[in-house]
Structure 1
Amino acid sequence: MDDKNRNPERDREREDNFNVGEMIIRVLVTAIVVGIAAYFTPGFTIDGIWSLILASIVIGVLDHLIQKFTGVSASPFGRGLSGFLVAALILYVTKFIIPGFHISVWGAIIGALVIGIVDAIIPGRAM
């Protein structure tokens, strides 16, 4: 395709749509993974679907901010000990932001481990 025929505005719209679609998929995958982790983790409960969805959004935002400012991704197995600790910290901090999201310190640690295992099985990036 010739550069003269390109429409930068249309290309930007496609990128924005892709990012929004990608973000929705990430929130849904995160909700599934966090829901599974809460089910299998002692000291980790979520009161309802809306708390789970809001927590997924908060987890995604916190992960993005931490990755942007520190370069550390909250992938429990993909980034080693630092990713594992960041994932546990994000889970624990989320309890202060989202009502209905209850997690203890040990629940956050075990939950990060469960999320790492589930993330390895479910396609997509959870945290």
Structure 2
Amino acid sequence: MNFIIKLFISSIVVFALSYFLPGVHVTSIVAALWVAIVLGLLNTFLKPVLVFLTIPVTLFTLGLFLLVINAMIVLICDYFIPEFHLDGFITALLFSILLSVSQSILNKIFVSEKIIL
């Protein structure tokens, strides 16, 4: 159930950011739902590989390169979904930062993290 709530929150945030952030274009709420699904899959399967391969750069930049990896993940999502378009790397970087912060705040509010042992 928490997965569905998180997916719904992500799609609403993606759709809202398309209105408030210039350079982000999402055609519909269904496209935003697809963006949330693809971003979730990319963050699950591709991001750990990219983080592992870029450990030296990440250590040298004191972790700031992780922001670049997040922007690259968003740009890959832009490539796969035709209804989702970003105008450039800086837009992808801002989008990924705002998406992460918004998701974190809204997930703290709406998702209950009950651990059952």
Query: Matched residues, percent identical?
Result: 25
Deviation at 1:101, TM superposition (A): 0.3
| Deviation >6 Å, runs of 4+ | none
Kindly tell me the number of residue pairs found equivalent between the two proteins: 98
Q: 1:45 aligns with which of 11, 15, 25?
A: 25
Give deviations 1:28-81, integer Å, cap 9, x for gaps: 121122223222211101001111111110000000013443557xxxxxxx52
Query: Aligned-residue CA RMSD in angstroms?
Result: 2.3
Question: Quick check: 36-45 or 54-63, which moved more?
Answer: 36-45
Query: Which amino acid letter does the alignment assign opposite residue 61 of structure 1?
Result: L
Q: Which runs of 5+ in 2 are unaligned?
A: 53-62, 109-117
Compared CA separation, residues 88 and 71, structure 1 to 2 (3 A): closer
Residue 92 of structure 1 corresponds to which residue in structure 2? Answer: 75
Alignment of 1:70-89 (within 5 A): 70=50, 80-89=63-72
Residue 56 of structure 1 corresponds to which residue in structure 2? Answer: 36
Query: Which amino acid letter does the alignment assign opposite residue 94 of structure 1?
Result: C
Compared CA separation, residues 67 and 113, structure 1 to 2 (3 A): closer
Taking structure 1 as the reference length, the TM-score comes to 0.64
Taking structure 2 as the reference length, the TM-score comes to 0.68
Query: Which amino acid letter does the alignment assign opposite residue 48 of structure 1?
Result: S
Distance 1:119 1:103 in 2: 19
Q: Which has the higher contact order (CA 8 A, sep 6+)?
A: 2
Would the aligned equivalents of 1:41 and 1:114 in 2 still touch at CA under 8 Å? no
Q: 2:100 aligns with which of 116, 119, 124?
A: 116
Distance 2:49 2:4 in 1: 23
Distance 1:123 1:24 in 2: 12
Question: 1:122 is paired with a residue of what secondary structure?
Answer: helix
